[in-house]
Amino acid sequence: MKETAGFYVAGHGIPTVANGAAVAADWMSAASFISMAGLLAFLGSDGSVYLMGWTGGFVLLALLLAPYLRKWGKFTVPEFVGDRYSEAVRIIAAVAAIVVSFTYVVGQMNGGGIVFSRFLGLPIEGGVAVAAVIIFTYAVLGGMKGITWTQVAQYTVMIIAYLIPAFAVAQQMTGIPVPQISFGQILAELDALSADFGLSAYTEAFTARPQIDVFLVTMSLMIGTAGLPHVIIRFYTTKSVRGARFSAFWALFFISLLYTTAPAVGAFTKLNLLRGVQGVSADNLPQWVDNWAATGLVTVKENAAAITSVSNDPASGADLIINNDILVLASPEIAGLPAPIVGLVAAGGMAAAMSTAAGLLLVISSSFSHDLYFRVVKRETTDRQRLMAGRIAMGLAVLVAIYFGINPPAFVAQVVAFAFGLAASTFFPVLLLGIFWKRANAIGAGTGMVAGLLFTSTYMIYTLEVFGSQAHDHIMGISPEGIGAIGAVVNLVFTVVVSKLTRPPSEHIQEMVEGIRYPAALARREKGA
């Protein structure tokens, strides 16, 4: 791809169904495929925050933002922000897009590393390095058009790899090969076995998270989804605004196939896991434990005579510690399914990590080259120079992401949730107000974005072990995954208050905003004038 329009938005020529599948692959990352069912297995009903937040957020995106941003017709989210507010706010948005996308890509590197470390017999460091090389190579060479059609293929692999083992396990355990229906039959046994192993009941609410945090995490994921730059940019690739709307419909359909299956996968896998280690000697564990122990993601307590307790928390002192992120990949092995299905799940996990990481690297590339380098550093540049700057930015992002992929601050889905929180506190309020409130101005939007980003990132660093800092207790029970919802409120308040206290946008900007929502009315008014 030698032109920026082709590299970043595929020349606005992607068909709606294909774009819907690509959006689904782009959005259903390693967090959805690899980690979410594992979190559901250990969090139980509290894990539904991921299901509700991510699917509900996509509805918000489809209804409130995507069609209007497509009508604006630019390359990137920062470009919309720059046109709507000012060049200074565009720079803030570009920096925020890089921060959000980088945080997100760390989760994909870790997820890809888990797949390769298990199935290539590598330590986690080697697995992350292999994943990084593959992701970087086709993201740099293909651009948006290449990534789009690759993601269509990856979605196909991903959904087949997720559904076939789920149907097989459902048939094996209940006699009904429809996991969405049959997993209810095993919940009573799962609750009882969980209690035997010192775990909370799978179906009991608010055992893993306080009620306020369940609400805030759900909200943070919802509005974060609606503000994610790498998802929004996909709606710029369609041929028309109508195509953007139908792409959203198809994407939601494709996403629902996995998201309605994930709770069943979590329940079946946890029950099979607990059945498999119940009363088993620590010296005679199932083969899948030995397989995953080699990666360091499953550990057995020294001197344990038998497995009497299971946990996902290394600090719990349980006999068997299992990383959340392996449960979906290990599910066929735990259930005793044949080797081809085990390999199929591995392929799906890798497809999930690579498809999203490529889209994220493209956002990092476009934000740096199109919104920072071209606008701030060197105004007189050719397409070739901008693409080279973007590819260098991709490479630097991959190198740093390798380190955090090897040393992640949390499980894959949690790291991804941090990215959603950052997107919620920076992009969603200014995009929403930019479309639906003509009075929002540049000073208000810039102040709101900076306030939201600083508030949210500071709390995350305070409560996590990152950059060598010590993790602190959650304030009022609010987790770092949920703080983005409060950060969004901070952003919204600052944007509205500061906009009210300063001069309104120009008449030209206000008419442009009105033209996005009411193009026919504006055309009639201009014709009458």
CATH of the domain at 437: 1.20.1730.10
Q: Which residue has the tokens 């607990």?
A: 274
The rounded distance, in Å, linking the Cα atoms of 450 and 435 is 19
Q: What is the mean pLDDT of residues 221-242?
A: 77
Buried-exposed string 323-358: b where 16+ CB fall within 10 A, e elsewhere: bbbbbbbbbbbbbebeeebbebbbbbbbbbbbbbbb
Place of tokens 């199935």: 119
Return the higher-pLDDT residue of 346 and 88. 88
- 280 in a domain, yes or no? no
Q: How high does pLDDT run on average in the chain? A: 84
- Partners of 310 in beta bridges: 320
Q: Which of 57, 49, 423, 69 is nearest to 252 (CA)?
A: 57
Please provide residue 300's backbone torsions phi and psi, each rounded to the nearest 5 degrees.
-115, 135
pLDDT value for 193? 92
pLDDT confidence of residue 175: 94
Q: Is there a domain that residue 311 lies in?
A: no
- The predicted pLDDT at position 527 comes to 53
Confidence band, pLDDT 50/70/90 cuts, at residue 479:
very high
Instruction: Answer yes or no: is 238 within a domain.
Output: yes
Which residue bears the tokens 């076939």? 164
Give the highest mean pLDDT range of 125-134, 229-238, 369-378: 125-134
DSSP assigned state of 354: H
pLDDT exceeds cutoff 80 at 445: yes
**Mean pLDDT, rounded, for 337-349:** 85
pTM: 0.84
- What are the distances in angstroms from CA 270 to CA 21, 28, 43, 45? 30, 22, 11, 13
* In-domain check, residue 18: yes
Would you say residue 272 has pLDDT above 60? yes
Q: Domain for residue 273, yes or no?
A: no
Lowest mean pLDDT among 41-50, 144-153, 226-235, 268-277: 144-153
Confidence tier at 3 by pLDDT (50, 70, 90): very low
Domain residues for 510?
4-268+340-522
Torsion 5-146-36-292 (CA) sign: negative
pLDDT value at residue 306: 85
For position 199, what pLDDT does the model report?
84
Confirm whether 284 is domain-assigned: no
Residue 137 has a pLDDT of 77
pLDDT given at position 468: 61
**Given this model, what pLDDT does residue 443 score?**
97
Inside any domain, residue 56: yes
Number of domains in the chain: 1
Alpha carbon distance 336, 338 (integer Å) = 7
Does any domain span residue 331?
no
pLDDT for the residue 1: 42
- Please tell me the predicted confidence (pLDDT) of residue 102: 86
- pLDDT of 455 > 50? The answer is yes
Spatial separation of the C-alpha atoms in residues 319 and 206, rounded to whole Å:
25
pLDDT of 45 strictly over 70: yes
The pLDDT confidence band at residue 415, using thresholds 50, 70 and 90, is: confident
Distance CA 105, CA 280 (A): 39
